[in-house]
Structure 1
Amino acid sequence: MTDMPNLIIAIDGTLASGKGTLARFLSSEYELPHLDTGLLYRALAALALKTSVALDDEDALADKAETLNLAEFDEADLRTAEVGQAASKVAAYPKVRKALFELQREFAFQDGGAVLDGRDIGTVVCPEAHVKIWVDADIRTRAERRVAELNAKGDPITVDEMLEQLEERDKRDRTRDVAPMRPADDAHLLDTSHLSIDAAKEEARHIVDRVRASLSRS
């Protein structure tokens, strides 16, 4: 358990870079609640795909976002490639992001702190976070990781198909008008391209511990 009264950790990065794995690890390591903010957008996209709400109907999507309850969704259903692509489109709408903004802020500032991972936590949702880590890996490594994950779940896709999806998604996330995906100016960069899972976890833990030590001296 951290000896700080509050500790907010923001983990941002690209798809399949390992940010979710690292966020869950740090949540356990420092006994902090964890929110995968991408699941909010995935849940909203999944809801739209299953109902009459169109993916280009920003107002209707924003209305649904205001009453979204993650507990009503099976996480496995939200991790498919189809939902991921739809979520990237939904996440580009300003009204949708506004509807989910306060929910994320409240989670971050709960007593004791929290770990949040996404694409704009350190830049938009919680720029006050004590620790900001930007996680990335080269695109082929990310594609191979994501294909292995999806194939293991019975969701077949080739590396070439995934490369195309990642390039499209990265471009959309980085160039959207509201909350574009980018590292915060004061984020610690963590490239996992050539790191094992355990090595990446250790590096993330070292980053958090160095920041905590620095804060305790200030």
Structure 2
Amino acid sequence: MTSIASGTSRNRPIVAIDGPAGAGKSSVARRLAERLGFVLVDTGALYRTVALAAERGSIAFDDAEGLERLTHSLVESSAIAFTRSEGREPRVLLWGEDVSDAIRTPEIGMGASIVSAHPGVRAGLLDLQRKLGEGGGVVLEGRDIGTVVFPDAEVKFFLTASPEVRATRRYEELLAKGQSVTFEGTLEEVKKRDAQDMNRAHAPLRRAPTAILIDSSDNTVDETVSKMADLVQAHITQMEG
């Protein structure tokens, strides 16, 4: 399996999942972490939370200096935290407030894409992400986990799906939340987000050379997770051998 790295001293691997918006990375990463007994580090939620904090603080998404100051302030004061109660999904806290739902709106999603393109913001969160995952036994998902955050991750995946499938999933999710949206508008948003993520100057979305390509267009979340879990378990067996 040439797409899985080896030779590190960690007892358990770091699993990096990258891919475009709407590919199902959050759901897959959460279930994969549960199945493996690993810790989930939701890096996308970090950028969304910074975007939300910026919006609430009236800091424009294109204000690089203001966003850099905000990010360092949030990190230094440990304002962003992850928590989980028994029987509930992981929650994201900002200054102690549960913002798990507030950071999942389309507006904050687009804001996170813009915010995450600023080098100062990425630098501010980079050390935090590495500290959370450096010991291994973690699953991280985002846009540049396997290329920038953990280029030495033992297992790397690039999870994708066609724009139409991703737009359908997003459209149905937003409808279920009672939001007024159209499929055409959602598809356009997905394509715009792809172009924005892939063409940004700093840490653009791309597949790491050693990342295993997983196309979930025709698979359920459970099928995708099972396939990925088998690959991770194969590497763990290799490590233990």
TM-score (normalizing by structure 2): 0.84
1:214, 1:136 → 2: CA distance? 27
Unaligned stretches of 5+ residues in structure 2 = 1-9, 81-92
Provide the identity percentage. 38
The residue number in structure 1 matching 2:86 is none
**Among 117, 120, 137, the residue aligned to 2:144:** 120
Which of 133, 137, 154 is matched with 2:157 structurally? 133
* Structure 2 residue 108 is matched with structure 1 residue 83: yes
Q: Structure 1: which 5+ runs fail to align? A: none
Amino acid corresponding to residue 106 of structure 1 in structure 2: K
- Equivalent residues of 2:12, 2:236 under 8 A apart: no
Secondary structure of the 1:75 match is coil
**AA aligned opposite 2:156:** K
How well do the aligned residues superpose, as a CA RMSD in angstroms?
A: 1.4
* Counterpart residue number, 1:62: 68
1:11 maps to: 17
Question: 1-side partners of 2:46 and 2:179: how far apart?
Answer: 21
CA contact (8 A) 2:42 2:141 kept: yes
Q: Could you state the TM-score of these two structures normalised by the residue count of structure 1?
A: 0.93
Which residue of the other structure, out of 100, 105, 108, is the alignment partner of 2:125? 100
2:29 paired residue number = 23
* Equivalent residues, number: 213
For residues 58-78 of structure 1, the C-alpha deviation after alignment (integer angstroms, 9 at most, x for no partner) is 111111112323322411110
| 1:12–1:19 CA contact under 8 A, matched in 2 | yes
Q: Deviations over 1:18-74 (max 9, x none)?
A: 111111112111222111111111111111222221111111111111232332241
- Separation of aligned partners in 2, 1:156 and 1:88: 22
> How many Å separate the matches in 2 of 1:62 and 1:173?
19
Give the Cα–Cα distance (whole angstroms) in 2 for the partners of residues 63 and 12 of structure 1. Answer: 27
Q: Alpha-carbon deviation of 1:198?
A: 1.6
Distance 1:159 1:34 in 2: 31
Alpha-carbon shift at residue 214 of structure 1 (Å): 3.4
